[in-house]
Chain A
């Protein structure tokens, strides 16, 4: 384990970015790290872009924010958002990106361009060797509820960290409604396996 980790999470309002950052922060505490997380409220339910900063340190976290080029990991739930926040990643950093697009209204009824598959791949290729495109929404749909996509992605992220799966699962189970605990457990484990099979 490193002494410190900087995570940038990003997505579209409603995808569960904030829940994911809550989980990431609680896992830090469970694993003995000091932690800070930062978010900006209010715009989420209006379909806007959401991003959160989560910082772990074995001793003490000072700044609540991460600067460009300082993130060890990007965890992104939507592909255009991965491009929007790409510059936060440091050289050699890792990225876990949900293979999923939500076209904003500027695209669906305006004239704006949504990046094509080749355009996305071109940026991913330059960004880092350690990028995993995870079909989180598809996996969640197969498990029974697309809303668990963010937990699939958390599982994928967990494969990079030397923290037992049980620690993550306990934190997740405490934060989701009882009737979806099992679904979320499976979502986490499938995401984790997806990255483990390919090597983090």
Chain B
């Protein structure tokens, strides 16, 4: 019985079938649904950790305890977790550990498109890579077996078009796996990586890779699929992996293909044999020439990035056009694209939702023209005009440190950092401690919308609810901030424009650091939705001054009606979108927008 599953759903299912007992993750597109789905299976422990490094430590702890474990993250999450990934490689474990790295070629939702197969080689950890949802499910069990056989964590590497593509999957039975021990290991030579012990381990992990090379030669998903080698088309040899395998099959149906389901380490015997039987050997892989470089190290001549791009993701068109340019396919293979004389199509970027509690803060920062170091979350959308209020954004938790660095470098203006609640727990806390400890005057605004929003409203330590729906006491921001050493702290409603502005003014005047906690629930949370109440513009009072347009709310439209005197379009509120946050009503200088109480009174008549 086949079921349509996304790659992420398939990995979650595979983890459950293979007896994973403990899983930890931090949300991050395209990996988020792995833990969301895994956590719903019976008799498993699944958690959102505050960041990916903690998530890996947690999974390692479970694996040290003899229980199969999994940690999942997006590609840049491995950067955060890297320290832990490296020691786990050195120590080995007591039971299987899979680390899912969900890469994002084309940066659909990321700040870069780094190729995390390189981490596998760097950390001496084997890497398996599925080409569709079925393989994604099956490779979890395979990865755990490899992990236990070779005493190593194993990377399961996927990309957006595996994670968020769905295909039919044959489901399997669960194979419960008994814990491999009752107590915590007392084996410091193995688990305590002081230099003396670590020196003994390094040769072990180098030898482990040599053993894995032998294993790779007969790994089931490392497989040559031969075309008709009596024909020229069949003597084109393609080495490929991941989703690129599917494009190879699509564009070169007659070629011979060596598909690699384990992308580190590679099987030199299989590859040499394959290369010997083909006339032209090419490598089709997205992003880095990872396979290509390994093959060159084996002394195998091949063409990869001389034909296919190292930037962005592939699709059938990219592969086909590159192949035609390289003479691998004839001109007649080109797929025509219609030449359409299109008018200008308006950009439709993602923007802060109507009712977003971040909006007023960004509007005020923009008005005051302060320098703002931003961070990662829904609030990165403070970048979009007309709010246009953030000036840097690099990675999770970077903003506060960057602002502090600018301040300590002696820049001639006051620095402001904005950070969300979840990002603050992720990596903002040490950066804020640094502001206090090393004494700069950065103003940090914690945008507390009571959720981890951009990735789909997951819980975090401040929300009071865990992944598996346990109610817990929420971590309180204000006491935490004071404990980190900041004396000047204020919590203000994120919808109260006057209070926010007064607080900003006060903090900008004062010496020393401060923290403004701008708090209101995300407009899309269930309780917030219940409070939605569309506001209205009183057309007679509106003169088209555009103040409300400048807050960039999608629910505020330009009416067809022009003001007689100014000839400017009046404002009109879309009742299908407006949630009634009243930020526009507060910024309107003519009291032309009804507040909630006025709407209720008006409707009551």
Contacts and interface: CB of A to CB of B under 8 A. Distances in A.
Interface of A: 12-13, 25-26, 29, 34-43, 45-49, 61-70, 80-81, 83-84, 86-87, 89-91, 103-110, 112-116, 119, 122-123, 126-127, 146
A26 B553 CA distance: 37
Interface residues of B, number: 61
19 contacts: A25-B4, A36-B167, A49-B348, A61-B167, A66-B315, A69-B337, A70-B317, A83-B342, A83-B343, A87-B337, A104-B349, A106-B347, A109-B558, A112-B346, A115-B343, A116-B343, A123-B341, A123-B342, A123-B343
A35 B386 contact: no
Given A38-B165, A41-B164, A110 B348 contact: no
Interface string B22-62: 00000001101000000000000000000000000000000
Contacts of B556: 108-109
A36 B165 contact: yes
B558 A29 contact: no
Nearest to A46: B350
A46 B351 contact: yes
Nearest to B162: A64
Interface in B165-184: 165-168
Given A29-B168, A67-B316, A112-B347, 15 more contacts: A13-B350, A29-B2, A40-B164, A42-B455, A62-B247, A64-B161, A64-B246, A65-B316, A67-B315, A68-B317, A69-B317, A83-B342, A87-B340, A91-B338, A112-B344
Interface in B352-387: 352-353, 378, 381, 384-386
Contacts of A103: 346, 557
A47 B346 contact: no
Contacts of A36: 132, 165-167
B9 to A, nearest CB: 12
A87 to B, nearest CB: 5
Interface string B524-557: 1000000000000000000000000110111011
B348 A47 contact: yes
B320 interface: yes
Given A47-B353, A62-B249, A80-B345, A26 B4 contact: yes
Contact of A108 (B335, B340, B554): B554
A106 B348 contact: yes
B336 interface: yes
A68 B166 contact: no
Nearest to B243: A64
B109 interface: yes
Contacts of B109: 40-43
A97 to B, nearest CB: 14
Contacts of B318: 67
Nearest to B551: A109
A110 B353 contact: no
Contacts of B558: 108-109
B452 to A, nearest CB: 12
Q: Is the interface of A mostly helix, strand, loop or mixed?
A: mixed
Nearest to B321: A67
B89 interface: no
A22 to B, nearest CB: 8
Complex A-B, nearest 3 residue pairs according to Cβ-Cβ distance, in ascending order: A67-B317, A46-B350, A48-B350
Contact of A80 (B167, B335, B348, B350): B348
A137 B318 CA distance: 36
Contacts of A146: 576
Contact of B346 (A37, A38, A114): A114
A64 B549 CA distance: 41
Contacts of B341: 122-123, 126
A66 B316 CA distance: 7
A109 B552 contact: yes
A64 to B, nearest CB: 4
A38 B30 CA distance: 12
A63 B315 contact: yes
A105 B29 contact: no
A76 B27 CA distance: 30
A73 to B, nearest CB: 15
A107 B346 contact: yes
A105 B336 CA distance: 34
A69 B558 CA distance: 36
A94 to B, nearest CB: 14
B381 to A, nearest CB: 7
A184 to B, nearest CB: 20
Contact of B552 (A12, A45, A63, A105): A105
B160 A40 contact: yes
Nearest to A40: B108
B524 A45 contact: yes
A69 B167 contact: no
A157 B30 CA distance: 30
A125 B496 CA distance: 51
A55 B553 CA distance: 37
Given A42-B456, A106-B347, A64 B165 contact: yes
Nearest to A50: B348
B351 A105 contact: yes
A25 B5 CA distance: 11
Contact of B549 (A35, A63, A70, A109): A109
A38 B164 contact: yes
Nearest to B455: A42
Contacts of B300: none
A123 B339 CA distance: 10
A26 B2 CA distance: 11
B6 to A, nearest CB: 9
B32, B132, B348, B456, most chain A CB atoms within 10 A: B348
Nearest to B108: A40
Nearest to B378: A46
A119 B167 CA distance: 38
A9 B423 CA distance: 34
A115 B338 CA distance: 19
Given A36-B167, A108-B554, A112-B346, A29 B4 contact: yes
Contacts of A114: 346
Contact of B315 (A65, A81, A104): A65
A108 B560 CA distance: 11
Given A66-B315, A126-B341, A37 B246 contact: no
A80 B345 CA distance: 7
Contact of A84 (B345, B455, B557): B345
Contacts of A112: 344, 346-347
Contacts of A127: 338, 340
Nearest to B104: A40
B250 interface: yes
A13 B335 CA distance: 30
B454 interface: yes
Contacts of A66: 315-316
Contacts of B317: 67-70
Contacts of B351: 46-48, 105
Given A47-B351, A86-B340, A69 B165 contact: no
A115 B343 CA distance: 7
A30 to B, nearest CB: 11
